[in-house]
Structure 1
Amino acid sequence: MDTQLLLLLLLAMVLMASVAQRFPENSCAQYFQYVQSGIGSFQGELTLGLQNGRNRIDVRFSQLGAHDQSVVGALLPYPDEVTVRASLRAAKFRVSLWADASAVLPKLTRLVYNNNELCRASEYNPQSFFNRFFELHINGPQSPHRVAPTPVIHKFPEGQTDVQIKTVVFDGSERSISHILSDFVNEQTATSAADWAPKSPAITSISSSAVPRQRWPTSSVPTISSIAPAPWKPATPASPFIPNGIRASPPSSVPWPSFVCGQEGTGVPYIQRGMEFPRGRYPWLTAVYHKESFSLAFKCGGSLVSTSLVITAAHCVYKIREDRVLVALGRYDLDNYSEDGAEMRDARRIVMHPEYSSRLQLQPDADIALITLDSPVIFNDIISPICLWETAETETEAEIGSIAGWGTDENGNSMTRYPRVVDAKIATVGECARRWKVQKILDRTLCAGNLDGSGPCLGDSGGGLMIKRNNRWLLRGVVSLGERSTVDHCNNNQYVLYCDLAKHMTWIRQYIS
């Protein structure tokens, strides 16, 4: 009898927890419903018919007075991508939702499929919105039962900035991603009364007007006045070089996936006086670990440039076997090894530049290593590639670059918990040589810094010197060498030396396809 009473009480508590959640109006009942995924845990579920080719789903949620990026999770196939590909007539997608203080769940206010609006609802006041999207490419017979909505397309007003969220899964992988991106929370929110519409589809060759505007990270670092670089105006905007992994023999002809590199996601051990940035802002940022006596030791940063290739500094993996190197992707909080959405990959192959020298005075000239991951990753909100530099021998004087990483901070912490970003001015060859008190800087070296104590430090080695062109980030250099001021401290009143990737593109391209 006591057992039955206990079960009844437990059932009553579960029912009360469910009833306590207040469901908002649902203007998309044909496609969308709220489902309970646990006690007090809810998700929004979409059911759509998919078609052969491109399938892009955009959703927009609103929450009462909420500006917290965690109230709406990532939009993901349910229960996984393999199931969705096998269920084109009624493919399901889910997004985790968290209620506000009054137990009200976020409301779906817009649903768009392939630029066709399926439904719309009013926003809460004061208006706040959370935009998410998922893109899937399917090869095969077209489903005759796909949704055929009436096109109603609303474009962004000029000047409106939306959240920087990107989830793209391209054809060619049957790997389940349910365990990869389960309900991770990394999105930004925005407040605006302006209308919303999905971004233009990700394509291999894209004009600057079709790329969403990006938010530049704010920083306590003083603003640097600089001469604008020479305008970069190709007759037709060039498609950035997007490699697909190291190859030992000529690759077979494989169609390029449809995605855009260099887009922000939704900010001496190296960043001093930098600013922490939101998770996913630089989704190509990777952490390189060494396996040491049953533990992992963070060593360097790196940059993802394809589904299976990371560029880092050669000195980060010098004399280290492949089976002792591990790469973390999608990481943000280095204290959290079970971080949602993060991926860990062993190194399958490491190729160091043949002209790399461990002598400090020569190190930056060819300080490059290419790490091939043991299995490819699927691009999403927090894992996607940066563009490789396109034009060799490009003039870079007076340009501003950005460096992100987890390295030593200005307080002497050997590793920061969250990555930080700092901007740095790229110096002329002559100015760099004078500051380093040498006759000449190596030809394949870049010099950058603010000379104000801000810049990369120990641990940021291997990270990228990123330059923004036409609203995309390009990888120009690799953090190589800085001057020490005291023991285990970096002198960021001196320029940092970078290996200039623009001078090594011929070598890099012979290993990637």
Structure 2
Amino acid sequence: MGPWGMLFVVLLVHDVAGFFVPKAQSSIAGGEEAPRGSWPWMAYVKSITEGGNSFACGGSLITKDWVLTAAHCVDPEEDVILEQSRVYLGVHSIKELDDPDVVVRIMSNVVIHQNYNYLSSGFVNDIALVKLSQSVSLTKLVKPVKVASSNDQELSPGTKCWVTGWGLTEQGDPRDGILQQLMVPILRNNECLKVYPKISPEMICAGFWNGGKNTCMGDSGGPLVCASADGFAQVGITGFRSRCNMENRPGIYTRVESYEDFIQETIKSGSEAPA
């Protein structure tokens, strides 16, 4: 599989500065199959580039018209062709995208955070919104997720949250392409500084220190959700990370709450990035 294969993400290695350097691609190892329809906001985001490459990420439906994902999944430098790129909703297995329950939309626009960048330490402000070509009808298999805001209760260390994705498991591709889920505890950013010295307040550290369970190759852009008073709320976006399953390398996620204004203003404007 080439660097822009079907299961795209960013596999990172630890550099001499103690942070992340993209090496090739990034999914869920050590997880389990998700029951059908249990995460109805989960999106399968498949991009096609002018070079004829295709790569896939996760995403989350946050309104009838918008999907939240990682900026590096739809990076304009990769020359993504919007009219050939697709967002799939209501998917259980990515090997069954022709299932009648699956809703397919063309990407009509992509809005990447204005300060998104790749530095020597990794991606920063790794967040983007994809506008769908047509509003989706909500069903039991297709529903938006609440997006965490600054008004929500602060995440406490030890809070049990969930990540989902179609990325690689420890055995390789997910069995039958079925969506995987994994419970991960929230960790203190200060605690994660010892292995990720450049972690910022705009990031969330979550996962396990003993390895064996983590997102891996193919899960980038997918949601990190935690239980709230009225269901689940998305608190993070799966992004860059160190190698799958490594000890002392919990996952790093873009903190959605930190980008509340960007999300709200983009949706309000309809298509343009906030100034």
Pair 1:445-2:203 in alignment: yes
- The 5 A counterparts of 1:78-89 are none
Shift of 1:291: 2.7
Contact 1:330/1:343 (<8 A) preserved: yes
- Larger strand proportion of the pair: 2
* Paired AA for residue 204 in structure 2: L
Residue 300 in structure 1 maps to residue 21 in structure 2: no
For 1:203-352, list aligned pairs within 5 A. Answer: 268-291=25-48, 297-319=54-76, 320-352=80-112
Q: Report if the CA contact (8 A) 2:160-2:183 is conserved.
A: yes
Q: Cα RMSD over matched residues? A: 2.3
Query: How big is the shift at 1:441?
Result: 1.7
Structure 2: distance between partners of 1:457 and 1:492: 14
The Cα of 1:413 is off from its aligned counterpart by 2.6
Contact between 1:289 and 1:296, CA under 8 Å: does it hold in 2? no
**Contact between 1:393 and 1:503, CA under 8 Å: does it hold in 2?**
no
Structure 2 letter corresponding to 1:341: D
**Percent of aligned pairs sharing the same letter:** 27
* Counterpart for residue 454 of structure 1: 213
Q: How does 1:139-158 map to 2 (within 5 A)?
A: none
1:507 maps onto 2:262 in alignment: yes
Q: Which amino acid aligns with 2:42?
A: L
Q: Deviations over 1:162-188 (max 9, x none)?
A: xxxxxxxxxxxxxxxxxxxxxxxxxxx
SS of aligned partner of 1:483? coil
| Aligned pairs, number | 239
In structure 2, C-alpha distance between the alignment counterparts of 1:424 and 1:289, rounded to whole Å: 26
Question: Structure 2 counterpart of 1:359, which letter?
Answer: L
1:417–1:501 Cα change, 3 Å: same
2:129 maps to 1:374: no
1:372-417 deviation per Cα after TM superposition (whole angstroms, max 9, x unaligned): 0000110001101000113258532312210011001011338861
Pick one of 225, 232, 235 that aligns with 1:466: 225
- Partner-residue secondary structure (3-state), 1:431: helix
Q: Do 1:465 and 1:477's aligned partners in 2 also have CA atoms closer than 8 Å? A: yes
Check 1:349–1:415 CA distance in 2 against 1; reply closer, same or farther (3 A cut).
Answer: farther
Take 1:492 and 1:298, find their aligned partners in 2: how far apart are those partners? Answer: 28
2:273 matched residue in structure 1:
none
- Per-residue CA deviation, residues 488-510 of structure 1 (Å, 9 max, x unaligned), is x5536511111101111011111
| Aligned-partner SS, 1:512 | helix
- The structure with the larger Rg is 1
Gaps of at least 5 residues in structure 1 are: 1-267
Query: What secondary structure is seen at the aligned counterpart in 2 of 1:511?
Result: helix
**Gap change, CA 1:470 and 1:356, over 3 Å in 2:** same
Q: In 2 relative to 1, CA 461–424 (structure 1 residues): closer, same or farther, beyond 3 Å?
A: same
Alpha-carbon contact 1:482-1:491 (below 8 Å) kept:
no
Alpha-carbon spacing, 1:418–1:295, altered in 2? closer, same or farther (3 Å): farther
Distance (whole Å) between structure 2 residues aligned to residue 432 and residue 471 of structure 1: 30
Match for 2:250: what amino acid? Answer: Y
Q: Distance in 1 between matches of 2:139 and 2:82?
A: 26
The aligned amino acid for 1:273 is: G
TM-score where L is the length of structure 2? 0.80
Q: TM-score, normalised by structure 1?
A: 0.44
Q: 1:402 to 1:433 in 2, by over 3 A?
A: same
Structure 2 residue runs without a partner (length 5+): 1-24, 269-275
Q: 1:284-309: CA deviations, max 9, x gaps?
A: 00001023699884510000011110
Distance 1:356 1:492 in 2: 29
Deviates more, 1:404-413 or 1:375-384: 404-413
Shift of 1:322: 2.3
Q: Is the CA contact (8 Å cut-off) linking 2:122 and 2:240 kept in structure 1?
A: no
Matched residues in 2 for 1:288 and 1:328: separation? Answer: 6
How many angstroms apart in 1 are the aligned matches of 2:52 and 2:36? 25
Q: Is the 8 A contact 1:403 1:423 kept in 2?
A: yes
* Alpha-carbon distance change, 512 to 273 in structure 1, aligned in 2, over 3 angstroms: same
1:298–1:330 Cα change, 3 Å: farther
Distance 1:290 1:490 in 2: 27
CA distance in 1, matches of 2:218, 2:143: 22
Q: In the superposition, relative to structure 1, how do residues 491 and 325 fare at CA in structure 2: closer, same or farther (>3 Å)? A: farther
Match of 1:495 in 2: 250
